[in-house]
Chain A
Amino acid sequence: MSEAIDDEGFITLVSNDGFQFVLPKRCAFASKTIRNMFNKNSGYIEAKENCVKFEEMRGAVLEKVCEYFIYKHKYSGYTGQVPEFQIPAEMGLELLTIADFLET
């Protein structure tokens, strides 16, 4: 499969309760699922609109996911001490299911 991915620009992630998160594409591409959506060859409508709606995610969890995308983008390749990414205990299981879905 050829890689026809444009990682310039921004992307909007929408939760099921209507929260919108705008972040650079290359940060969101930490998730393989999102990355595959934006492969032009796969023809997803999301690729054209630069907007992904996650029906199974509520705002609070999607916010955490976006935080992780930024965290990962900031610290990957950094050799010093990386601060720990904090997750509220009650969100752990829900986030794990979503992380499994997003392949991140």
Chain B
Amino acid sequence: MSRRSTSGSYVSGPNSALTEFLREKGIDASSIQALSHARARARNAAAAERRAQLAQQTAEAELEEGADENEEVGESSAAAGSRRRQNRKSTKDEDDDEQMLDIEYLEEEEEEEEVVKPRRGRASRATTEINLKVGGKRKRKSTTVKDTESEFEEEEEDEYVEEEVVTTRATRARKPTKAELKKKKAEEERRRGEDDLADELPRPQPGQIAFCASCQNRFTVTAYSRASEDGEGLLCHPCGKKDAPVEKAARKRKQTTRTNKKSNARAILDGDTSNVKSLQEICINTLAKYIDDVESLGYIGSHNVDKMSQIICKNRRLSNDTIKLFFEPAEHVLRFYDCSKISSDGLREIGALVPTLRRLHLNWCGLMKDECLDYYGTQLRQLTSLELYGAFNVTEESYIRFFQNVGSRLTEFGVSDTSRFTVNAVEALVDNCPELEVLRLRTLTHLDDECVRLLTGLPNLKVLEITNPQESITDGAIIDALNSFGSGLSELILEGCSDLTDETLHAIHSSCGRLDVLNLSGIDLITNNGISHLFTEWTQNYGLRELSLGRCVGLQSSSFARVIDHSGRTLEKLSINSCKDVKKDAWDFLQEFRLPLLEALDVSFVRSVDDSVIESILKVAPELKWLRVWGCNKITEACALKEGMVLIGREADILA
């Protein structure tokens, strides 16, 4: 992934609702920029034109300076005088009506001015003084409209007007904007409100004596005294209390619905579906709560042991003491999901106390050391399956010794999150364990093409998982591997192998006939055509059981249709998380099909999903139980769901 970010500015994946909206409307940064540029250009052009016009007018005025000049000036000054008088009348103390008149007057005057313009243009240079006065008066008028004028301001404005004509004109032509009018209105209302308040009696201060508006009794006002319903006066304490329980109950109800909503959302996330738990579950929860006091588990059934382990690990209560409860001498399977608190010696005891173990699964066993794994290799004589996740302290030599000790008995192996599992360990694995059927390699720092090519020596492989390799894994290596054991593969997980392309899909198409589970999440280089090709006429495969195409952003409606066409009958789990280009037509297409086995569907961040789409999916997939819809913000509470189905991530459920 780091390679990707250094090589170019390629960004993909889910985006925010806002981004999605803007994209849908065809708005992007470049168009906004272009628009603003265009606007700026237009503004500049207009200004230039105006300047040119002005210059022309001035030139004309200079030329025509002459005979009728005096007459003109006389006329204009007379008009100005009358206007000024009229204007003086409307000072700031006047009320709205006159101001409204004033606005009308201003508009009138502007029209008139359009006619006057050329004449005034001619006169402008010759009689600067008068012109200034006219300008000043006009200026004053526009400020009247703004309702904020004062005598002082007026005077100031008068001086201020001694500027270029352009500025004066610009100011004069400006009508009051909507915002200004609104502000004015708000201020008037406020003033009126103040007046009303002044008319009314003020609220009595706490400590004063008042008479109840309801029962007319004398009482002492406190800060908590309520106003009566008609607002006429205050209520005494007993009268005020009558309403209180109702309000309190309403408040409480609101609060409980909020907490209910929260706890429901949490339960959905935890996968609690029914509200009445089974007695076994209740017992396990109780036991898990008091696990520190339990001396031994006794016989509670092996599935209950595993469930107990899950719950204790989830609560992070598995410790060197509690882990001993699970060491039944004849146990075949042990799974611990969080060993982060178990010391290496504690893990070593598994080998000493449960020698019959066949399958061992340890998550987050970061404290495990070499001698522990060596001990497993020599002590667990029946071990066929080992999954060590997060054992980053174990060295490569120890892995190699383990593979040599276990030899061909090992059929399943999984390792994750370590940088000490490199090509040498893979080589030892391939050389010593030819019977390996399941191999899971997750988040390994030094897993590369060479390691993958070595896997061609494992002809019996049925399950291959390569998740999030930190180094580049390319098509060539995967194709080589698939050519050697692809025909036997039932599960192929290539999640996060972000350098793979359509060529891998072609190889899967031609060699993986028995494939059941396919996970291609996060391989964003594969295209719509590639996916189409994989699922078109894939006759040697009878249909996938699980398919994940999450974040395969190339997926479009057409290839989605191909997927459904090929595997619709058999799919149990399907994820198209973040495949943003799956549009309405895909859902319409789905209507003609049935997904009889589908149990879990993930359509998170597919923005085309809305209430009607969900309802139509429910119609075609009768067995659907889990539906993930994170980020599908068109889904509302009104969406009709069927009983027993869990909808995870609906916005309306989470936002209180």
- Hey, which bits of chain A sit against chain B, CB under 8 A? 65, 68, 71-72, 75-76, 78-79, 81-82, 85, 87, 89, 92-93, 95-97, 99-100, 102, 104
Q: Which residues of B contact A89 (CB under 8 A)?
A: 286, 289-290, 293
Cα–Cα distance between A96 and B303 once the two chains are bound (Å): 12
17 A/B residue pairs, CB under 8 Å, sorted by A: A65-B279, A68-B282, A71-B276, A76-B276, A85-B277, A87-B282, A92-B286, A93-B294, A93-B297, A95-B279, A96-B283, A96-B284, A96-B304, A97-B300, A100-B280, A104-B278, A104-B280
Q: Closest CB-CB distance, B295 to chain A, in whole Å? A: 9
Q: Of B283, B297, B298, which contacts A87 at CB under 8 A?
A: B283
Question: Are the CB atoms of A82 and B282 closer together than 8 Å?
Answer: no
Cα–Cα distance between A89 and B287 once the two chains are bound (Å): 7
Question: Are the CB atoms of B286 and A75 closer together than 8 Å?
Answer: no
Q: A87-B286, A92-B287, A92-B290 are in contact. Are A82 and B276 (CB under 8 A)?
A: yes
Q: Which residues of A contact B284 (CB under 8 A)?
A: 96
Q: Of A71, A81, A82, A99, which contacts B280 at CB under 8 A?
A: A99
Question: Are the CB atoms of B298 and A97 closer together than 8 Å?
Answer: yes
Interface residues on B, range: 20 to 34
Interface 0/1 of B289-316, CB less than 8 Å to A:
1100110011111001000000000000
Cα–Cα distance between A104 and B277 once the two chains are bound (Å): 9
Cα–Cα distance between A60 and B524 once the two chains are bound (Å): 61
Can you add 14 more A-B contacts, CB < 8 Å, to A96-B283, A99-B279?
A: A68-B282, A75-B275, A82-B275, A82-B276, A87-B282, A89-B290, A93-B287, A93-B294, A96-B280, A96-B284, A96-B300, A96-B304, A100-B280, A104-B278
Cα–Cα distance between A75 and B279 once the two chains are bound (Å): 13
Report if B53 contacts A (CB, 8 A).
no
Q: Which residues of B contact A72 (CB under 8 A)?
A: 276, 279
Q: Closest CB-CB distance, A85 to chain B, in whole Å? A: 5
Q: Closest CB-CB distance, A18 to chain B, in whole Å? A: 23
Q: Which residues of A contact B301 (CB under 8 A)?
A: 97, 100
Cα–Cα distance between A78 and B276 once the two chains are bound (Å): 9
Report if B260 contacts A (CB, 8 A).
yes
Q: Which residues of B contact A104 (CB under 8 A)?
A: 278-280
Q: Of B274, B293, B300, which contacts A100 at CB under 8 A?
A: B300
Q: Closest CB-CB distance, A67 to chain B, in whole Å? A: 10
Cα–Cα distance between A18 and B309 once the two chains are bound (Å): 36
Cα–Cα distance between A71 and B290 once the two chains are bound (Å): 23
Cα–Cα distance between A87 and B290 once the two chains are bound (Å): 12
Residues 445-491 (chain B) with a chain A CB within 8 angstroms: none
Nearest residue, chain A, Cβ from B289: A89
Q: Closest CB-CB distance, A79 to chain B, in whole Å? A: 7
Cα–Cα distance between A68 and B279 once the two chains are bound (Å): 7
Q: Closest CB-CB distance, A95 to chain B, in whole Å? A: 5
Nearest residue, chain B, Cβ from A64: B279
- Counting from the closest, the 4 A-B pairs by CB-CB distance are A96-B283, A99-B279, A100-B301, A99-B280
Q: Closest CB-CB distance, B81 to chain A, in whole Å? A: 83
Interface 0/1 of B264-284, CB less than 8 Å to A:
000000000011111110111
Q: Which residues of A contact B290 (CB under 8 A)?
A: 89, 92
Q: A81-B260, A85-B282, A89-B293 are in contact. Are A96 and B287 (CB under 8 A)?
A: yes
Cα–Cα distance between A75 and B286 once the two chains are bound (Å): 20
Q: Closest CB-CB distance, B90 to chain A, in whole Å? A: 68
Q: Closest CB-CB distance, B3 to chain A, in whole Å? A: 52
Cα–Cα distance between A11 and B299 once the two chains are bound (Å): 28
Q: Closest CB-CB distance, B524 to chain A, in whole Å? A: 42
Nearest residue, chain B, Cβ from A87: B286
